[in-house]
Amino acid sequence: MQGEEGQGDAALGALLENAPLGLAVWDAQLRCVQANAVLCDVLGVPESQMLGKPVSEVFPDFAYIEALLQRVLDDGRPLRDLRVAGAIDQAGTHKAFSVSYYPLTEAGEQRAGGVLGIAVELDPTTEAVASGQ
């Protein structure tokens, strides 16, 4: 069983490293616990500045996203293809993206109350389309 767990961890690591999408995991207290390089590059923030912090602390202009994350935690249902926008730095650099939020549950749990955290998927191509690139 331990070997299967190690393989699962390796597969998850490979997915985060190689996915063309921005991916992150937020815990049940709405703190970032993992973010891949694509997400960090698009948002212009190193993972070290995101880890352990809520969205509102890292990106004050995106504080409204915490309510969306809480909704996924509360009802256990994903939110797909939402448009989010805001400033990502003190210079006021504005970005807009398509994001999806998925509940992370124990194996077999598909209901509210069994949500351990939230997976976030950010499509970096939508930012280029929004800015006309």
pLDDT tens digit sequence for 1-45:
456 666 667 777 787 788 899 999 999 999 999 999 999 988 888
Task: State the CATH class of domain 21-130.
Answer: alpha beta
pTM for the full model?
0.80
For residues 28 and 116, the answer to whether their CB atoms sit within 8 Å is: yes
pLDDT tens digits, one per residue of 76-125: 999 999 988 877 776 777 888 899 999 998 765 555 567 899 999 999 87
pLDDT score, position 63: 82
End-to-end CA distance of the chain: 48
Q: For residue 1, what pLDDT is reported?
A: 45
Tokens at residue 67, please? 């309510």
Domain ranges of the chain: 21-130
Residue 10 CA to residue 19 CA, distance in Å, equals: 14
Between residues 65 and 15, the one the model is more confident about: 65
Per-residue exposure over 16-25, b if at least 16 CB sit within 10 Å of its own CB, e if not: beeeebbbbb
Burial tier of 95 (Cβ tally within 10 Å: 0-12, 13-18, 19+): buried
In the sheet with 22-27, reading across from the earlier edge strand, the strands are 32-35, 22-27, 115-123, 94-105, 79-87
